[in-house]
Amino acid sequence: MLVILPPSETKSDGGRGAPLDLDTLAFPELTPIRKRIGEAIVDLAGDLDASRQALGLGRTQLAEVDRNADLWLSPTRPAIERYTGVLYDALDHASLTRAGKTKAADRLAIGSALFGVVRAGDMIPAYRLSGGSKLPGMPTLAAVWKPALSDALDAVDDFVVDLRSGVYQQLGPVRGAVTATVVTEAADGSRKVVSHFNKHYKGLMARELVATRRNVRDINGLAAVLADAGQRVEVSGATAITVVTD
C-alpha cells in the first residue's frame, strides 16, 4: 500500500542532512523536472518582488524567499519531518514505534509542487512553492508535471490511497487510486464537506494505515482498517470512500 499525503506550506527549519541531492530521491525519473523547477525558484529568489507575487507571499513571509535562494545549500531532513501543520500533527510521526516508523517509510509518500512526490524518508530542504504557484517563464505547474508525475505514480505496483488535496492531485492524477472525502453529518441527516478539519482527519487516517498490520490491497480492506480504528467509513464508489464525522 502506498498512501500519498498532501504537502504543507509550513515546514520545519534546519536539519542534519547534507544539502539536497536530487539523485537520492525516490522516483528518479522525475529528476529532470525537479531540477528545472528548483533552478527556477532559486533564480526567482534574486527578485524579491517577483518572488512575492509568484509565491503569494505577504510582507511578513520574506524569509521564505531566503529558503528558496538556499535550496541547493541548506541542510536536509526526512520529508516526513520537514512538513508540518494540522495533518502532520494528527499523524504524529515522532510518537510512532520503531516498527511504525519503518512502515511509514515504506507506506507513505508526500506530494510536492517542487519534487512531484517524495517518499517519507527522502532528505529534502525547507522551501516555498505551492501547487497553484505560477513561475515566470513557465506554464502552470500542472502542465509542467503532466504526464511525467502520473506515469511515475501509475507505475507503482501497489494499492494507492491518494489523500492529496485537489490542486496536488491535478499535478499528477493516479489512475485507480482511492480518494477520501471527509463530511460532517447533522442531526437531520444532512451532510457537508469538511474544510477546516479535513487535514486533521486525513492525518488520523494516515496514522491508522501506517500502524495496521494488515496488508491492505483494496478499498474494502482500507475501509475495514479505518472502521476498526473507530472511524465511520462508507465505500461511496469504486475508488472513493467517505469518512463521516459529527
| pLDDT tens digits, 116-155 | 999 999 999 999 999 999 999 999 999 999 999 999 999 9
Q: What does the alpha-carbon distance between residue 147 and residue 86 come to, in Å, rounded to a whole number?
A: 30
Question: Domain count of the chain?
Answer: 1
Cell numbers given for 36: 528545472
**Pairing outcome for strands 123-124 and 2-5:** unpaired
Cβ neighbourhood burial of 196 (10 Å; 0-12, 13-18, 19+): exposed
pTM for this entry: 0.96
The residue range of the domain holding 7 is 2-245
Query: Of 89, 60, 106, nearest to 201 (Cα)?
Result: 89
Q: What residues does 160 pair with on adjacent strands?
A: 2
Q: What does the alpha-carbon distance between residue 111 and residue 88 come to, in Å, rounded to a whole number?
A: 13
Rg of the chain in Å (alpha carbons): 18
Q: What does the alpha-carbon distance between residue 183 and residue 28 come to, in Å, rounded to a whole number?
A: 37
- pLDDT at residue 76 above 80? yes
pLDDT level of residue 60 (50, 70, 90 thresholds) = confident
